[in-house]
Amino acid sequence: MIQDKILDIEQSVIGKSSSPWAKEGNDIIFTYVGMSISLIYSLLSFNNITSEEGTSVKAIIFAILVFLATFLAVYLTVTTILKLSFRKNPATTLLGIISAWIIYLIVSGFGHFALIDADWEVVWANRVLVIVGQLMTESLTQSYLPNQSWRLWSVLYLTFAVISAAYGTTGDKPYKFLVPFTIFCGILIYIAWNPTAINYNSDEPVMKLIGATILSYISFGLSYYYCSKNEEYKANKLRSYLALSSVFIFFFAVFIMNPPEAVQELCADIFGISSSENIQLTRCGGVEASQWGGIFVNLIVATAGCVLGFGVGVVLAFGRQSELPFFKYPSVALIETVRSGPLICWLYFAVFLLPDIIDPFMDLEDIMRMLLIFGLFGGCYIAEVLRGGLQAVDSGQKEAALALGLSPMQTKLQVELPNAVRTTLPSIVSVFIGLWKDTTLLFIINILDFFKLAKDLPNTSPGYLGDFLEPLYVTALVFWIFAFYLSRISMRIEKGLGLTNEGGGEAA
């Protein structure tokens, strides 16, 4: 039984045996010979590594990984030679062996870096900095600054609540959400829990994270209960409310981080802070946009790209579709101009030239202008995607809407747009993924986003000098995780909508 399975797997990787000596019956003997040769060789390499790198836990893990990879590669190679498998189907054999050796190279090369060479302390010690930025970190540990972290916590609470409520409406089995989410929150709590740093009170963030987790459980439970008890249309209504509230969270985050001065003063009056004090140094002060930092900046800029971009995209897509030249030509001009240049052109535009144009209106800070330009840039790409969807809307839909007596505006917003969004949602999500990845470009214009902070980490302490690669790999991992998560969502939507035969969006 096991022999058959081993042979099956082996044949699927390097093809069938084609030598005169290895036939149906004694095939397995040659496999065992190959395995034992490979085992001896890889045990030798295991021994080699442990004698070279010592017997610390990391070295042992590394040695085991290399042992496995070596075993696979050598075993496949030796067996191929013993059985002459390459004679019948050289392409498959070659692919299998090359893949095995590539895996060996990656494991031995990257594993050596990750487990032996690297000093991950540089990122671990600065993890609060890369998440919330310089000012927030300081205000967590220093007493001369007011603790403004509640602004971020309020945004986090809302986000968690809305996301978990949204998962509640999907109608999946509860454990499909609860298990990964609990693991995710566990990791977050582990990251927040730090007994060693001076002056850093780790109880507070841990308790707040636990609170956020419980809040999400509750909101998940409520929405799950609501959706399972009610009709489908009510669940749909809940979904649209949740979508609206995620838009609201974006504006709320921008507002709560740096409220307008009138609100700050009102707040100071309520809390009885005398006007002689500098309002910026009190809890009512708000955090100026230039002081934002860390992954929060990436998230808020990417969200701006999605939220503002979707609004701009809808307007421009309808503008481009319109028969009236007053709407059509300006939309085409705007879309084509913005799409003609790469994003960093527009980032420079936003930094150097946009202030000239909007200066008399308002004096925005860099990050605020980034929000605007990401919205515009994302909007133009979403407009192009939506246009494809709008063109694919069945004309019968429009005619039916007209026959029902809907006005042109109602037809557009209530009939055409939902149809177009439905077919193009996967492409829209891929635009969102692109925007999320593009937020790393903010470092070029000296905005202290995750990437910028991470790549400057080696300079924070003499002990970390020269550790350039570790923060970069962590950055890549963090951005990868978010993008991967979004791409899974996109695939899920694609599957759920059953769009394979409808078309409309770009397939890329």
Interacting residues toward another protein by CB under 8 A: 9, 12-13, 89, 91-92, 95-96, 98-100, 102-103, 324-327, 329, 336-337, 340-342, 344-345, 348-349, 352-353, 356-357, 360-361, 407-408, 433, 437-441, 443-444, 451, 455, 468-469, 472-473, 475-476, 479-480, 483-484, 487, 506-508
Q: Nearer Cβ to another protein, position 42 or 439?
A: 439
* Tokens 């699927």, located at residue: 12
Amino acid in the structure at residue 239: R
| Residue 493 to residue 487: CA distance in whole angstroms | 10
Q: Nearer Cβ to another protein, position 291 or 439?
A: 439
| Rounded least distance, CB 256 to another protein, Å | 28
Q: Nearer Cβ to another protein, position 33 or 469?
A: 469
Q: Nearer Cβ to another protein, position 86 or 224?
A: 86
Nearest to 420 by CA among 345, 331, 318, 507: 318
| Residue 502 to residue 495: CA distance in whole angstroms | 12
| Residue 160 to residue 150: CA distance in whole angstroms | 15
Q: Nearer Cβ to another protein, position 101 or 241?
A: 101
| Rounded least distance, CB 343 to another protein, Å | 8
Contact 28, 6 (CB under 8 A): yes
Q: Nearer Cβ to another protein, position 241 or 348?
A: 348
| Rounded least distance, CB 117 to another protein, Å | 10
| Residue 444 to residue 135: CA distance in whole angstroms | 21
Q: Nearer Cβ to another protein, position 9 or 244?
A: 9
Exposure letters 431-467 (e unless 16+ CB within 10 A, then b)? bbbbbbbbbbbbbebebbbbbbbbeebbeeeeebeeb
| Rounded least distance, CB 411 to another protein, Å | 12
| Rounded least distance, CB 302 to another protein, Å | 11
| Residue 415 to residue 401: CA distance in whole angstroms | 7
| Rounded least distance, CB 357 to another protein, Å | 6
Number of Cα atoms under 13 Å in the Cβ half of residue 361: 7
- Residue by residue, what is the 3-state secondary structure of 133-191? CHHHHHHHHCCCCCCCHHHHHHHHHHHHHHHHHHHHCCCCCHHHHHHHHHHHHHHHHHH
| Rounded least distance, CB 80 to another protein, Å | 13
